[in-house]
Chains A and B, each alone.
Chain A
Amino acid sequence: MKVKEIMQKVVISLSPKLSAKEGLVILLRRRISGLPVVDKNGRLKGMFTEKDFLRYLLPSYLDKVGEFRYEENPKYIKQKISQLAKVKLSDIMRKEVVTVEEDFTLSEVARIMLIQKARRIPVVSREGVVVGMVAREDIVRALLHEGNS
């Protein structure tokens, strides 16, 4: 079985021209943890996830400072949230995105998900246009179904 047979073909995507706030509102409304960011031709430009938002909020040196616990909310959290409407989605989205192609096998997609620690992967055509999305749950369900049939 190929990934194109099980992928979600109707893909909601975000424009890089949106603000981070607009992108986040769409994620929360759709109750989805992340969406692909595509240009006007549908080509993949990046992924915007809740994790990218958290990464924007907190300092980049967190892991370098070592173990500690926040006992208060730093002042900049409020400031950064208030500036969210001015921040471009393209500035905080993840630009290096793991992708698969339509004719990849389920095992290959599973392998990529395991190695790259990815939960949802955009499926792209050879031209880089997003044609679907595949989640870990889709792969598990399809593999289970295939194994039992």
Chain B
Amino acid sequence: MYPRPLKFILLVAIPLLIGLAGKAGGLTSQQCLSVSIFLASILGTLFFWDFRLSFVFLGTSLLLITKTIDLENLIKFASLEIILFLVGMMVLIGVLKESGFFAWIVSLLLRIKNLSGRRFLIIISIASALLACAIDEVTSIIFMVAAMLEICDYFETNPVPFIISSVLATNIGSAGTVLGNPIGILIAVKSGLTFEDFIIKAFPLAMLCLTALIFFLLKWYEKPLKKMDQKIKELGANEILVRLISVPPDRELKKGLIIFGLTLVFISLHHRLEILLNLEPNTILLIVPLIAAGAVMIWRWQRARGYIEKDVEWWTLLFFMLLFAQAGALKYTGTTDILAKSILNFSGGKAALLIPLLLVVSAIGSSVLDNVVLVAAFIPVVQSFKDLGFVLQPLWWALLFGGCLGGNITLVGSTANIVALGILEKETNIRMTFFRWFWVGLFSSIITVTLVGLALTFLPFYK
């Protein structure tokens, strides 16, 4: 990566030059400011990840001081509804963790019968994708990695192929539902797409990508899988692993599962309930996690403060909130309308070209940037296409899948990658090199992005 002084220079120079170029190109001063400040926040996040919150705090203040956006609109664009949804979900995840749910999943994985290399890879890929769909990618990858390290350690096998496979599957699975990735709920709220829409349209596509990924990985990792088979033959069945851990007490686990299960049921029925109760779109979707979290905090009132203080990642949520506000400033100043027209001109005004263009750009972008940053920037642009007479739904799916699948290209492409590789390094002293990840990540992304691109462009189902 670049040395620190160069990063500073780029951080100042790029937004400044783009702002000046915009001014010369006919943008208003406020449009230039909104672009420059947003760009500075993105670059600041990219170059100085640990300081990302400082950058959005300063940038947002600058937007207000320069009157680029007013306070009322800033708060509106900060999308408090999404933040509250994530707070509710984080509390529920905290309760699930406390009730032993994650350890229970680990224990189930340790009990896989008739283990073989291929069987192990298939099961962990499917489990990673489905768990990412149901919980969220960052939480699910932690206990998937924990289970894989235990199993690989027992069979004296290199865990790297399995960790990479699990992360690739996790990122794919995270596109399957509203819950898998913060960009899922962000797109759902901004587009009006429902949980059902995700289940009917995004989930099958994610499963198609997962199937393709598994076939690809079985071929790519043929040698390590054979090695694992040999080790299993040498060491016998996983008898110690089967009884390695237990999850006491069962009653707590059942209660945690019931609460989470009910939350999922109500989330999946939100659209029908909103129609029934004559509520605005996505009202029930956004309040179900809050109701569940509220109920949990009454049930376990002694620990309620702990759920809010320890399980909710305020650092990340504040970053999201101010980032959404900065992206909103682009919309507010009309910059995204101009950008949408430019993109349209580039694609020759053809929707058929616009879908793959958005998919590829968001995939490449999210391979180096946090996908929430990227999607927050693109949402107002996509919204602007509506005024130009486009059907938006395939564009939303392109943005969702581009944002999730692109995370597979590089080892810093998504938070799940970083978390998994951090644990791997700490536990095994194996430091992943850029290219060891890159080739398998790139090829799997090319396969999955191509599949999604073809489906979104040619299947009438997605129009």
Within 8 A of A (CB), among B235-254: 240, 243-248, 252
Contact, CB under 8 Å: A66 / B101: yes
**In the complex the two chains form, what is the Cα distance from A75 to B231 in whole Å?**
15
Contact of A60 among B99, B103, B153, B427 (CB under 8 A): B427
Q: How far is the CA of A55 from the CA of B101 in the complex (A)?
A: 23
Lowest 8 A-B CB distances belong to which pairs?
A: A68-B103, A66-B97, A67-B100, A66-B102, A68-B245, A64-B142, A60-B426, A72-B244
Residues of A within 8 A of B240 (CB): 72, 75
B145 within 8 A of A: yes
Give the Cβ gap from A31 to chain B, nearest Cβ, in Å: 31
B153 touches A74 (CB 8 A): yes
Cross-chain contact A70 with B244 (CB below 8 angstroms): yes
Q: Which of B102, B103, B427 contacts A59 (CB 8 A)?
A: B427
Q: From DSSP, what is the main secondary structure of chain A's interface residues?
A: loop
Chain A's closest residue to B149 (CB) is A59
Q: Give complex CA distance A143, B302 in Å.
A: 34
Q: Which B residues fall within an 8 A CB radius of A?
A: 96-104, 106-107, 142-143, 145-146, 149-150, 153-154, 240, 243-248, 252, 423, 426-427
Q: Are A68 and B146 in contact (CB under 8 A)?
A: no
- Please measure, in the bound complex, the distance between the C-alpha atom of A58 and the C-alpha atom of B165, giving whole angstroms: 25
Q: Are B243 and A61 touching (Cβ within 8 A)?
A: no
Whether B423 contacts A60 by the Cβ 8 Å rule is: yes
List residues of chain A with CB within 8 A of the CB of B143.
61, 64-65
**Which of A60, A66, A79 gathers most chain B CB within 10 Å?**
A66
Contact of B247 among A61, A68, A74 (CB under 8 A): A68
Q: Which of A60, A67, A71 contacts B244, CB < 8 Å?
A: A71
Contacts of B248 in A (CB 8 A): 67-69
Greatest chain A CB density within 10 A among B103, B107, B426 is at: B103
Residues in A lying within 8 Å of B, measured CB to CB = 59-61, 64-72, 74-76, 79
Q: Are A69 and B423 in contact (CB under 8 A)?
A: no
Q: Is the CB of A70 within 8 A of B245?
A: yes
CB distance from B281 to the nearest CB of A (A): 35
Partner of B150, one of A67, A69, A74, A79: A74
Among A64, A66, A75, point to the contact of B153 (Cβ < 8 A). A75
In angstroms, Cα B241 to Cα A76, docked, is 12
* A69/B246 contact (C-beta < 8 A), A74-B153, A75-B154 known: yes
Give the complex CA separation of A68 and B99 in angstroms.
9
A-B contact pairs, 24 of them (CB 8 A): A59-B146, A59-B149, A60-B427, A61-B143, A61-B145, A61-B423, A64-B143, A65-B106, A65-B146, A66-B97, A66-B100, A67-B100, A68-B107, A68-B246, A68-B247, A69-B246, A69-B248, A70-B244, A71-B244, A74-B150, A74-B153, A75-B153, A75-B154, A79-B153
Out of B97, B146, B247, B426, name the residue touching A69 (CB < 8 Å): B247
**Cα separation A79 to B428 with both chains bound (whole Å):** 12
For B97, list chain A residues within 8 Å (CB). 64-67
B246 and A67 contacting across the interface, CB-CB below 8 Å: no
**Across-interface contacts of B427 in A (CB, < 8 A):** 59-61
Chain A residue with Cβ nearest B147 = A65
The residue on B at minimum CB distance from A67 is B100
Q: Inside 8 A of B96's CB, which chain A residues have their CB?
A: 66
Q: Are A67 and B154 in contact (CB under 8 A)?
A: no
Knowing A61-B423, A72-B244 are in contact, say whether A67-B98 is a contact too (CB < 8 A): yes
- Taking CB atoms, residues of chain A closer than 8 Å to B243 are 71-72
- Residue of chain B at shortest CB distance from A70: B245
Report which residue of A64, A65, A74 has the largest number of chain B beta carbons within 10 angstroms of its beta carbon.
A65
- Other-chain residue from A59, A64, A68, A71 in contact with B100 (beta carbon distance below 8 A): A68
Known contacts A64-B143, A64-B146, A74-B244; can you find 17 more A-B pairs with CB under 8 A? A59-B427, A60-B426, A64-B142, A65-B142, A65-B143, A66-B99, A66-B100, A66-B101, A67-B248, A68-B246, A69-B247, A69-B248, A70-B244, A71-B245, A71-B246, A74-B153, A79-B153
Query: CA A60 – CA B248 in complex, angstroms?
Result: 21
A71 contacts which chain B residues (CB < 8 A)? 243-246
Residue of B at shortest CB range from A61? B146
**Cα distance, A72 to B240, chains bound together (Å):** 7
Expressed in whole angstroms, the minimum distance between the Cβ of B71 and any Cβ of chain A is 38
Question: How far is the CB of A142 from the nearest CB of chain B, in Å?
Answer: 35
> Shortest Cβ distance from B155 into chain A, in angstroms?
9
Residues of B within 8 A of A70 (CB): 244-245
CB pair A69 B245 closer than 8 Å:
yes
**Closest Cβ of chain A: how far from B373's Cβ, in Å?**
25
By a CB distance below 8 angstroms, the chain B residues around A64 are: 97, 102, 142-143, 146
- B-chain residues with CB within 8 Å of residue A65 when the two chains form the complex: 97, 102-103, 106, 142-143, 146
Complex: how many Å from CA A147 to CA B252?
48
**Chain B, Cβ-Cβ closest to A79:** B153
**Closest Cβ of chain A: how far from B92's Cβ, in Å?**
13
A66 neighbours in B (Cβ, 8 Å) = 96-103
A68–B243 CA distance with the chains assembled, in angstroms? 12
Residues of B within 8 A of A61 (CB): 142-143, 145-146, 423, 427
* Nearest-Cβ distance from residue B420 to partner chain A, whole angstroms: 10
What's the Cα separation between A74 and B240 when bound, in Å?
8
Alpha-carbon distance between A68 and B245 when the two chains are bound, in angstroms: 7
Smallest Cβ distance from A39 to chain B, in angstroms? 24
